[in-house]
Structure 1
Amino acid sequence: MGSEDASRVVVPRNFRLLEELERGEKGIGDGTVSYGMDDADDVYMRSWTGTIIGPQNTVHEGRIYQLKLFCDTDYPDKPPIVRFQTRINMTCVNQETGMVEPSLFPMLANWLREYTMEDILIGLKKEMSALQNRGLSQPVEGNEEQRMEAKGLVLRCSIL
């Protein structure tokens, strides 16, 4: 009974997500990353939104990146699905879908239960500053029309 495994307490999924929600609502560090629930009525707490303000001295400086994080029922044992809503050019992001490719982002590829959504956002911000990403040309700022179609959104304007 003296082993580390016996003394290790596994926090249930919902408690863990409530802790993350509380931390996200309070604000993180220097305020350049934030996150919260996408839908307050989602009792399973699966859909989350994240924001990263691009790091200084990179092509990302001054840009605001919106992300979606989807925590399925096996989170935190398995990583969330992470997708940039805002178009971005990074080596770990699929240019067509905005998905962060787990095989190209070590934190997702080598996921540990202790990692959080905050860790992912901070890790992605650090990745923006990495040598291979800091100077990549970026798509024009603004809403990504191609991805809006993929989300099934229809924009309509009426003149009354």
Structure 2
Amino acid sequence: MTLGSGGSSVVVPRNFRLLEELERGEKGIGDGTVSYGMDDGDDIYMRSWTGTIIGPHNSVHEGRIYQLKLFCDKDYPEKPPTVRFHSRVNMTFVNHETGVVEPKKFGILANWQRDYTMEDILMQLKKEMSAPHNRKLVQPPEGTLF
């Protein structure tokens, strides 16, 4: 996130950016079907996060709750976090063995921009659950984990 006007910009430091994201995640996002927060409140580097997505209506994901792990390395937000489903899910860009969202196959990670957030990632994942190529895929039994 950059602030400024008229050609001058200020780059928000990593930890301030992550604190802003934490505050948004704690307040709740949109309709409440997506949320995220830190795994460990004592982690001063704010690296490990947990995300939750409630599957969208009119899809095979409807009513299911998906848990994810997001890891923000020291280069975040210049580089995207690694994203891994903890709950088993069958989608075209998720590795079927590990649950890792494969960056080259998932647009927002493949075309990462500094202004993108973890919220953007989770909302895009939810949107993809409703996409024609993912909405009808047979899913593992609910509650199975990677």
TM-score normalised over the length of structure 2? 0.95
Q: 1:71 is matched by which residue type in structure 2?
A: C
Q: What is the rounded CA distance, in whole Å, between the counterparts of 1:90 and 1:82 in structure 2?
A: 14
Q: List per-residue Cα deviations over 1:1-49 (Å, max 9, x = no partner).
A: x962xx1110000000000000000000000000000111111000000
In the alignment, is residue 19 of structure 1 matched against residue 20 of structure 2? yes
Higher strand proportion (structure 1 or 2)? 2
Match in the other structure for 1:103: 104
Q: Percent identity?
A: 77
Match in the other structure for 1:156: none
Match in the other structure for 2:67: 66
Q: How does 1:1-160 map to 2 (within 5 A)?
A: 4=7, 7-144=8-145, 147=146
Report the Cα offset of residue 105 of structure 1: 0.3
TM-score normalised over the length of structure 1? 0.87
Report the Cα offset of residue 128 of structure 1: 0.4
The count of aligned residue pairs is 142
Q: What is the rounded CA distance, in whole Å, between the counterparts of 2:144 and 2:93 in structure 1?
A: 21
Largest Rg, 1 or 2: 1
Tell me the SS of whatever aligns to 1:82.
Answer: strand
